[in-house]
Structure 1
Amino acid sequence: MDPAGGCPHADNARLLARGAVTPVVLPGDVAGMAVLGHDALKEFLAHSDVAKGAGHFTALREGRIADGWPLKTFATVQGMTTADGDDHRRLRSLVSKAFTARRVAELRPRIETVTAELLDGLGRAATDGGGVADLRRHFAMPLPMGVICELLGVDAEYHERLHHLSNQVVATDIGPKEAMAANRELVEVLSTVAAARMKDPGDDLTSALIAAREEGGDRLSPQELIGTLLLMIIAGHETTLNLITNAVRALCAHRDQLALVRSAKASWSDVVEETLRWDSPVSYFPFRYPTRDLTLDGTVVPKGTPVLAGYSAAGRDKAAHGPDADRFDITRESATRHLSLGHGPHYCLGAPLARMEATIALEQLFTRFPELDLAVTEPELTRHASFVGNSVQELPVRPVP
């Protein structure tokens, strides 16, 4: 895997031509595997003999993974993404109260208000910038970051720093010192947030998690609390940020698809689902581990191997989405069959919120600025320095009313 990331789709197509499951070399010459095909990934994500807990990661358990390994946080953070069985059900049940259909629906007016305010700011930034503004910085990032931080009770003063540190955590091209420093600082910031909520509880999820007890009387441990906050900060804004960014890029490059929405022949929800399939906000997500030697689509995945879930590859798998899987088509019937928000017991809890945020963002953006277009060509955009996140670092646009 190229630690510098870049656009994954050409490599994905080359790998898929060789098979749905393939060996890969992770940073630091760590042997791993990736599941790329749609059907194989769907089976793998829900397989009863696949675990998330780091105790199943053979090389880590045997001490062969360095402390500064850039992907180590994904394996060792204590929270839902690394829990199995009863622990996973316990943690998920405590967090899921914040993402009920009723709670998400109640957020709609606030999201609509924040979206309108950010679009005002995008317009001002373009005026100050000679007609050009970075859509990621002024719109796509502060919207989901503001929403998840408001849910968690995180003050605005931390937003920019948390975004920077989140980027460091998902980066795959940084050195050991930088990786360890970013993780330490992220834990410190979130510990400060948790301490403030412990001292002065509010109507927020962090306060609720601190106070919550399961029926058996268990609370989140301090490590689980910080791990849960870390997960929700990163997953709660990075993925939606990439989703909005990728959708805007897709629509600017496919004006015929934008015209379909404007003529009511398709919906903004269709745009969101096809973007999730065609240009998944997460390319390869670490890690899952077979608890026994597992044969998947004719390939043996050895017990204890760290496996990447190849969401961006599965989204363009021609076996699942047809010979034109590389084409962005918001009327595609198979668009909703994507796996970009997961599958099985670890399916994304925040999926309804992410979908609502992206739908509101796109509708308001193109209503306010109907002629919005990119200010540079697609090849000029700088990609994420990561094979985990899938998007660009900046998105200069001309927000034309």
Structure 2
Amino acid sequence: MTQLDERETADATAEAVSKASRGSADYRANPYPVYERLRESAPVCPISPPHGVETYLITRYDDAKTALTDPRISKDMYAAIDAYHTIFGDSSVALDDNMLFSDPPKHTRLRRIVNSAFTPRRIESLRPRIQQITDELLAKCSTEGPVDLLPSFAFPLPLIVICELIGIPDDEREEVQKLCAVVARTGFSKADKEKLAVAEGALRDYFVEIIARKRAKASDDLLSDLIRTQDEQGAMNDGELLSTLWVLLFAGHKTTAYLIGNAVFNLLSHRDQLREVMADPELLPNAIEEVIRYEGSVENATFRHALEDIAMRDTLIPKGALVQVAVASANRDPERFESPDTFDVKRPGLQSAHLGFGSGPHYCLGAPLARMEMRIALSTLFGKYPTVELAVPPGEADWLKVPFPAFRGLESLPVVLDPARLLTD
């Protein structure tokens, strides 16, 4: 490569990173050309995110899978305490003492405890209730005109399910959801961090109060089960219990809600693929895996940091630097997936290949529940409204507008559930 070629490559890479860092409209609408450029020219790329902490972005599949499982790349953000406070602020500490931000042996202990309560049998027992909730939500959706499926369907479904699973009363869920939304959307400015501190304080107070209630009067729910385990050796302390409640609630609805929205959007944007699924319902599970690969709700995995200097490809990630794994990029890597920018509901071998639920010790604990919710939501929606259409062209979709985000999802999903009815009316 000549010096001119190298300079042009560097300039193109810098422009791609700048677009992503700014969260520009064209990047948010379609970040995949940016990731393609990075995979080609800077697969392990230093970036300057808004929080200001030195960060390296990993974009190729093989590197991403390595980073998700490499013990030298830690999830224990408390070990990087200065970086933690810079990114999240002091108010976040009480909510993050959980398995998401820990390494073995602590992570192993906490995950074992949650696994003991979050059993396959308990998840499977939710199936009739998930179907009932789905039917009730769709029954409330208007067929008189366009309806936004995010607030009316995609978000309330997993929120109701996880709240019932945990044991959060119905009349308390709306306020909890509002506080979760603040935490999810807050940026890095001083004003944003002040809003974040207020929301996190309110959530912390609520969790302390509901834990006390469940201690006084247990019931048949996940939180009561976790409280009962506190009598066992190696059980969660009070801080870990509170923080685990937070991560289960937040992760248990946000990612699934965006996944449902992304699935509806992409199936409606690829009507030929949707017709195949409707003609053969056995294709639906694989179609869901393809959605998770093609346009999953996790764009970048949660923060990690390097415990030592790590050489990856031709880049040195210095000790103490943050590491972000671009899951959305890895899942479109042509070295791993043939024609990765093609949406193909018949693509083979997906469940064991895509990184939409992570990999290694931190593989998503709620993946079986998310898959069940998606399957019920999509089969019921398209079964009840087989001619449902997007109310706006796919190119005008309103995607989340945040730089280098954790989530990939829509701001809104307007659809017409029954177009024929509008024509007759």
1:208 alignment counterpart: 225
Mean CA deviation greater in 98-107 or 37-46: 98-107
Distance (Å, rounded) in 1 between the aligned partners of 2:71 and 2:88 = 30
Instruction: Determine helix, strand or coil for the equivalent of 2:301.
Output: strand
2:12 alignment counterpart: none
- For the pair 1:331 / 2:349, whether they are aligned, the reply is no
1:198 alignment counterpart: 215
Map 1:106-185 → 2, pairs under 5 A: 106-122=125-141, 126-127=142-143, 130-171=144-185, 173=187, 175-185=192-202
Output the aligned Cα RMSD.
Answer: 2.3
1:22 alignment counterpart: 45
Distance (Å, rounded) in 2 between the aligned partners of 1:304 and 1:383 = 32
Distance (Å, rounded) in 2 between the aligned partners of 1:57 and 1:134 = 41
**Cα deviations by residue, 1:173-194 (Å, 9 ceiling, x for unpaired):** 3622122222222222222322
Distance (Å, rounded) in 1 between the aligned partners of 2:279 and 2:367 = 27
1:91 alignment counterpart: 110
Counterpart contact for 1:270–1:330, Cα < 8 Å: yes
Q: How far is the alpha carbon of 1:4 from its aligned partner?
A: 4.5
Percentage of matched positions with identical amino acids:
34
1:293 alignment counterpart: 309
Amino acid at match of 1:188: D
- For the pair 1:307 / 2:323, whether they are aligned, the reply is yes
2:390 to 364, 374, 377: 374
Counterpart contact for 1:242–1:390, Cα < 8 Å: yes
Counterpart contact for 2:56–2:321, Cα < 8 Å: yes
Q: 1:347 to 1:66 in 2, by over 3 A?
A: closer
Q: 1:212 to 1:119 in 2, by over 3 A?
A: same
**Cα deviations by residue, 1:55-95 (Å, 9 ceiling, x for unpaired):** 3327437x7x27649xx849971101111112111110111
Instruction: Determine helix, strand or coil for the equivalent of 1:212.
Output: helix
Amino acid at match of 1:327: T
1:38 alignment counterpart: 61
- For the pair 1:399 / 2:414, whether they are aligned, the reply is no
Instruction: Determine helix, strand or coil for the equivalent of 1:267.
Output: helix
Counterpart contact for 1:274–1:328, Cα < 8 Å: yes
Q: 1:171 to 1:14 in 2, by over 3 A?
A: farther
Structure 1 residue runs of 5 or longer lacking an equivalent are none
2:368 to 352, 357, 363: 352
1:47 alignment counterpart: 70
Distance (Å, rounded) in 2 between the aligned partners of 1:103 and 1:251 = 30
TM-score (norm 2): 0.86
Distance (Å, rounded) in 2 between the aligned partners of 1:75 and 1:185 = 12
Counterpart contact for 2:94–2:204, Cα < 8 Å: no
1:389 alignment counterpart: 407
1:254 alignment counterpart: 270
Q: Which has the higher contact order (CA 8 A, sep 6+)?
A: 1
Amino acid at match of 1:60: A
Instruction: Determine helix, strand or coil for the equivalent of 2:335.
Output: helix
Structure 2 residue runs of 5 or longer lacking an equivalent are 1-19, 420-425
2:241 to 225, 233, 238: 225
Amino acid at match of 1:15: L
Instruction: Determine helix, strand or coil for the equivalent of 1:335.
Output: coil
TM-score (norm 1): 0.91
Distance (Å, rounded) in 2 between the aligned partners of 1:365 and 1:74 = 40
Amino acid at match of 1:264: D
Distance (Å, rounded) in 1 between the aligned partners of 2:23 and 2:195 = 15
Distance (Å, rounded) in 2 between the aligned partners of 1:294 and 1:214 = 41
Instruction: Determine helix, strand or coil for the equivalent of 2:121.
Output: helix
Instruction: Determine helix, strand or coil for the equivalent of 1:241.
Output: helix
Q: How far is the alpha carbon of 1:296 from its aligned partner?
A: 2.2
Amino acid at match of 1:162: V
Counterpart contact for 1:3–1:172, Cα < 8 Å: no
Higher helix share: 2
